Amino acid sequence: MANYKVLDSRQIQRMTPAGGTQFVYRVWIETSRGSTGNIDVAAEDWTTEKLKPILELFADNLDLAFNIK
């Protein structure tokens, strides 16, 4: 599991394919290996229980290239 820190987060409004809008939370992270990226998290997943595994998986995916041998 990659270690990471949250650099920033904010709520944004995004257009849906049908022309509606939805709120998501955009989170920027940096891993201990220096990988950076952002991920949009659905409002219904913005809980302590759901957010932590989402960010852990995202951090692991950002560092994937470092782990290939």
φ and ψ at residue 11, rounded to 5 degrees: -85, 135
Domain ranges of the chain: 4-67
φ and ψ at residue 39, rounded to 5 degrees: -140, 140
pLDDT of residue 61: 96
Q: pLDDT by residue (tens digit) across 2-17?
A: 899 999 999 999 999 9
pTM: 0.88
Q: pLDDT by residue (tens digit) across 26-65?
A: 999 999 999 999 999 999 999 999 999 999 999 999 999 9
